[in-house]
């Protein structure tokens, strides 16, 4: 079954925690810190697989998680990095953040491989935090947390030309005759259920890729029928071939059909409706010879003054197809625009914020006080004016938001107890 949309969950690997340890050698009684760094977490990487053309696999597997980095060890031993996870997708897949709908990546054109979520960086061991005033740091940096995202994957096929029209006007028949595609063909009164792609090879020149977009109906842009499910597939196309039943074999008015489909295209995306368009008046072999009015002439009279070329064709017999295809190729050669690539709107590396500066909270029984240490606290005290009411309030919010107060309470701190931070002593009072 064709699938062109999917929702999945991805998670990068957590960075391994840095280690706290000290040298304990026979002839080095007061050895310094030697805690090793944690390993980096694995990343989630998306990669284009030429052998895929649907998102069906994501209906069976919805969670993709990279490996966590290992913790650091004693004697400056660094933890092992976590393994990356490679997610294979078909070309043309647009990766979006599920909640906001913002684009993270468009896996098309030159973008064949992209890291969507970077793994967490491993934490520094306590050897990195030794200073002249703190020669035996009892804290190490935790590894950066993993990042997680719910994604919406949307396949927008890569084609130069989009083939549009109402159901049962002969799109599948035309595609099978002019390309190597083999769509299922029958006299259905409903639409094809998946877009079909084919390559048109022409003598003496470059060919092009054509996509049969499943049949649209009136109201498709508003969600009526199945047409709206596939409108996304013409977003990258440069030229549209509008196929109509010129013989009105089912009693439909081809001119009214053209206006109805163009109205749906404009309602979905105004830019698409204004792209170069060619009308293929199909089923001319079924036009009744004794008809007083030539339906193809009426179509030409209506649309050619508006700059839209009309070609009478028979998809069954092949009549008129060469003129149509060579005209479309010439039209494409005049369009110098690069293929449509959707620009990123969401960067997980900057839009998902994580922090991991280390700190420790301990109770010193000898001095009967609680001691809070770590570079995060030291930095905060360096730029905060504790003499001002505003600065002290900021200081309290910092302790609360970084869960330092929770750590103190877990150790059993009581009102009036002393908390020491880098030479500063505070009395603890609960709000």
Q: How many CB atoms lie within 10 A of CB 203?
A: 7
Contact between residue 306 and residue 262 where contact means Cβ atoms under 8 Å apart: no
Token pair 């200073």 is found at 131
Query: What pLDDT tens digit does each residue of the chain (431 aa) get?
Result: 456 788 999 999 999 988 888 877 666 556 678 888 999 999 999 999 988 877 888 888 899 999 999 998 888 889 899 999 999 998 889 999 988 888 899 998 888 999 999 998 898 888 877 776 667 777 788 888 888 899 999 888 778 888 888 877 777 788 878 776 554 444 443 444 556 777 787 776 677 888 887 656 555 445 544 455 667 777 888 899 998 888 877 778 889 988 988 888 888 888 888 889 999 988 887 776 656 678 888 899 999 999 999 999 888 888 888 889 889 888 888 887 777 778 888 888 766 655 566 778 888 888 888 888 887 777 677 666 677 677 777 778 778 877 788 888 888 888 888 888 877 788 887 76
- Name the 3-class secondary structure at 8: strand
Q: The tokens of 390 are what? A: 């505003």
- Name the 3-class secondary structure at 397: helix
Strand partners, 87: 46
| pLDDT of 54 | 79
């Amino acid at each position: 079954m064709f699938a062109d949309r999917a929702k999945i969950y991805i998670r990068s690997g957590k960075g391994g925690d840095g280690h706290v340890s000290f040298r304990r050698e026979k002839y080095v009684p007061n050895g310094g810190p030697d805690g090793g760094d944690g390993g980096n977490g694995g990343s989630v990487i998306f990669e284009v697989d030429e052998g895929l053309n649907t998102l069906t696999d994501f209906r069976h597997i919805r969670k993709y998680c990279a490996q966590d980095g290992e913790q650091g060890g004693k004697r400056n031993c660094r933890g092992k990095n976590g393994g990356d996870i490679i997610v294979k997708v078909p070309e043309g897949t647009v990766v979006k953040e599920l909640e906001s709908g913002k684009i993270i990546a468009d896996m098309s054109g030159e973008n064949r491989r992209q890291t969507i979520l970077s793994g967490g960086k491993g934490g520094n061991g306590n050897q990195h935090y030794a200073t002249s005033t703190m020669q035996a740091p009892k804290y190490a940096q935790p590894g950066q947390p993993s990042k997680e995202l719910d994604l919406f994957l949307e396949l927008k096929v890569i084609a130069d030309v989009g083939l549009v029209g109402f159901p049962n006007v002969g799109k599948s028949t035309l595609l099978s005759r002019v390309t190597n595609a083999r769509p299922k063909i029958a006299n259905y009164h409903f639409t094809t259920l998946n877009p079909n792609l084919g390559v048109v090879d022409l003598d003496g020149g470059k060919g092009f890729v054509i996509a049969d977009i499943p049949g649209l109906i009136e109201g498709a842009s508003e969600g009526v029928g199945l047409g709206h499910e596939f409108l996304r597939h013409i977003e990258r196309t440069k030229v549209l071939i509008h196929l109509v039943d010129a013989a009105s074999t089912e009693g439909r008015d081809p001119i009214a059909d053209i206006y109805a489909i163009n109205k749906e295209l404009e309602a979905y995306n105004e830019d698409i409706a204004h792209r170069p368009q060619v009308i293929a008046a199909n089923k001319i072999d079924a036009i009744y010879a004794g008809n007083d009015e030539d339906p193809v002439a009426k179509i030409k009279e209506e649309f050619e003054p508006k700059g839209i070329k009309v070609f009478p064709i028979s998809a069954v017999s092949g009549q008129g197809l060469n003129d149509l295809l060579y005209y479309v190729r010439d039209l494409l050669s005049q369009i110098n625009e690069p293929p449509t690539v959707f620009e990123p709107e969401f960067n997980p590396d900057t839009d998902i914020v994580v922090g991991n500066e280390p700190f420790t909270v301990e109770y010193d029984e000898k001095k009967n006080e609680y001691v809070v240490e770590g570079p995060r606290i030291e930095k905060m005290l360096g730029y905060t004016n504790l003499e001002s009411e505003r600065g002290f309030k900021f200081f309290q919010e910092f302790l609360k938001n970084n869960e330092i107060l929770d750590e103190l309470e877990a150790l059993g701190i009581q009102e009036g107890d002393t908390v020491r931070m880098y030479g500063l002593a505070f009395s603890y009072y609960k709000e």
